[in-house]
Structure 1
Amino acid sequence: MPRLLPALAISSLSIATLALGALASPALAAGDPVKGEQVFKRCMTCHTTAQGAPNKVGPNLFGVVGAQAGHVEGFRYSDAMKGSGLTWDEATLDAYLTKPRELIPGNKMAFVGLPKEQDRADVIAYLSTLK
């Protein structure tokens, strides 16, 4: 039995640490797709969102939420983006839209990011409607 107690203590400590980490990490703010469409106008210089619309300097973003990074047919992605292995879920989009070059060093996107959490949440809510 003495060998079990240290293992239980470590296991309990690990679980407590994970639980505290989860509580400390910021949750994504609730986004408003209507406001997100307005914020997204900054992105329209480089991106289209209509199904079947052509790529611009950046890829068409129709259906991007839930898609693999580097998935748009006919768009020439950087090796960094193609090799990222990311899926564009809400958390990944939030991290990318915060500082694109930090999440995927070497990607081609020149945009510096959206510093306001609510703007990112709104844009993600808007992109989520594009299905």
Structure 2
Amino acid sequence: MRRVASLSLISIGASAAMMYVAPSMAQAPPPAFNACRVCHTVQKDAKSGLGPNLNGVAGRPAAALPGFTYSAALKGSRLRWDDQTLNDFLAAPMKKVPGTRMPIATPDPAKRAAIIAYLKSLK
């Protein structure tokens, strides 16, 4: 009798564990993000690379990551990284913020949307 009860509790525990979904899990990076990896890190608390760490960038003011040396242009931009601003910047960084050091554009709207969705999943 005891053995059956133990198995039932194990089954209940396993079912509960299977229903648990960890909050704020990042999506898998889209293929379009591969070009971004050359300069940017995304792991929480990772050091920035040539570009700033992008973990938590969505919703953050531009040029606000402590410890990274941003261009004067980006510091003075007063941007906040919302969906539209990210989209515009990724489409043409040097047009959106003349003087930025970000040289890589993502002209394809679908690729930009995938990158933005991924960035929003990083926390």
TM-score (norm 1): 0.71
How far has the Cα of 1:38 moved from its partner?
2.1
Q: Give the corresponding residue for 1:122.
A: 114
Q: Are 2:39 and 1:46 equivalent residues in the alignment?
A: yes
How far has the Cα of 1:42 moved from its partner?
1.1
Q: Give the corresponding residue for 1:94.
A: 87
Say if 1:69 and 1:85, in contact at 8 Å, map to a contact too.
Answer: yes
The one of the two structures with greater contact order (alpha-carbon pairs below 8 A, sep at least 6) is: 1
Greater gyration radius: 2
Amino acid at match of 2:35: R
Say if 1:97 and 1:114, in contact at 8 Å, map to a contact too.
Answer: yes
Say if 2:57 and 2:119, in contact at 8 Å, map to a contact too.
Answer: yes
TM-score (norm 2): 0.76
Task: Report matched runs for 1:1-131 at 5 Å.
Answer: 36-111=29-104, 113-131=105-123
Paired residue secondary structure (2:53): coil
Runs of 4+ in 1 over 6 A off after TM superposition: none
Q: Which runs of 5+ in 2 are unaligned?
A: 1-25
RMSD over equivalenced CA pairs, Å: 1.4
Paired residue secondary structure (2:30): helix
Amino acid at match of 1:53: A
Distance in 1 (CA, whole Å) between partners of 2:69 and 2:117 is 26
The percent identity for this pair of structures is 42
